[in-house]
Amino acid sequence: MSKSATAIAHPNIAFIKYWGNRDDMMRLPANGSISMNLEALYTRTTVTFSTDIPDTVIKINGKSADSSTKFRIDNWLDDLICYLYQKKRLKDAPGNAEIISENSFPTGAGIASSASAFAALTLAVFGALGIETDEADLSCRARHGSGSACRSIPEGFCEWVTGSNEDSYAYSLAPASHWDLVDLIAVISGKHKKVVSSKGHWTADTSPFQEQRVYTAPQRIAVCRQAILEKDFNALAEVSEKDMLMMHSVMMTQDPPLFYWEGPTIRVIKAVREWRKEGLECFATIDAGPNVHVICTGRSAPAVRERMEKISGIREILSSGPGGKAHLV
């Protein structure tokens, strides 16, 4: 007998960044973070448990997962099943899992998929096992797979609180409909050296600036949260750009240093600041990759996009509004 469920989750872009852990194994973040789900992008994952499956099967975009991805998901799933037994929410062994996952966005575009992947996977596992639970629990379980995945569970604009384990999860600050922001993602062309971000988190403390970044994060969290609630674009722009630059400063001064920026990355950062001075509502933020997320208001988005198209080195521009929560289909 097999049990199956399919879930969809969106990736998210952080305004206040997650970088570094206070506990690497538990993925307890060094600091709180705030993000927005991206409606136009998603991961769709179907999980089937069956005692007829001899070993976990994982297919991502039609291909078998590589060994390190399989190892990571296997470990996470074992821990989750174990946790559900301990909590007496699972009684019978469900058998092994077949996991079929597809991303709506082009792979290799440098868009982090681990957040939407683990959010969709978590929800699909609970769905397939027929276990009811609340959003905080789902967020917490997703966090164990990939830190920022916890922010792809709730709706719209989300804050992830640090906590000590079960209380470290994300909750929705405001629904997707709250604010018509647009994320124009400048996909930067060129060869990117991939640096797995998990390893970067582990060595964040080797930067002389990480301690100060973490220490001052609660202030930026407070400013960012209020900016979102009050839809104060300039306040959001200033605190988000500052926080992004602080994270990349930490990355570049870690041992070994991590350089995620490419030539066009810095061009877009500088151009966007000039456009904002000229009155366009836009700011730049960058995750652990070369792409620049240019966040704008719906009103400014067409003009910003037009200007972005003139910057050399941008391969394509993806566009997305705020996204909803992870959900079963």
Contact in structure between 11 and 116 (CB atoms under 8 Å)? yes
Task: Record the tokens describing residue 190, joined without a space.
Answer: 């060129």
Task: Classify residue 254 by its DSSP letter.
Answer: S
Contact in structure between 322 and 5 (CB atoms under 8 Å)? no
Q: Which is nearer to its own copies, 177 or 219 (CB)?
A: 219
Tokens 């209020």 sit on residue:
226
CB of 30 to its own copies, least distance (A): 15
CB of 274 to its own copies, least distance (A): 9
CB of 255 to its own copies, least distance (A): 8
Q: Which is nearer to its own copies, 70 or 242 (CB)?
A: 242
Other CB atoms within 10 Å distance of the CB of residue 25:
7
Strand 21-23 to 28-29 pairing: antiparallel
Q: Which is nearer to its own copies, 130 or 208 (CB)?
A: 208
Residues lying near its own copies in the complex (CB under 8 A) are found at 208-209, 211-213, 216, 241-242, 245-246, 248-250, 252-253, 257, 259, 261-267, 269-270, 273, 313
Q: Which is nearer to its own copies, 59 or 273 (CB)?
A: 273
CB of 215 to its own copies, least distance (A): 8
Say whether 113 sits in a helix, a strand or coil.
coil
Q: Which is nearer to its own copies, 39 or 238 (CB)?
A: 238
Task: Record the tokens describing residue 27, joined without a space.
Answer: 């993925």
CB of 205 to its own copies, least distance (A): 13
Other CB atoms within 10 Å distance of the CB of residue 270:
11
Amino acid at 209: F
Helices (H), 101-209: 114-129, 135-145, 197-202
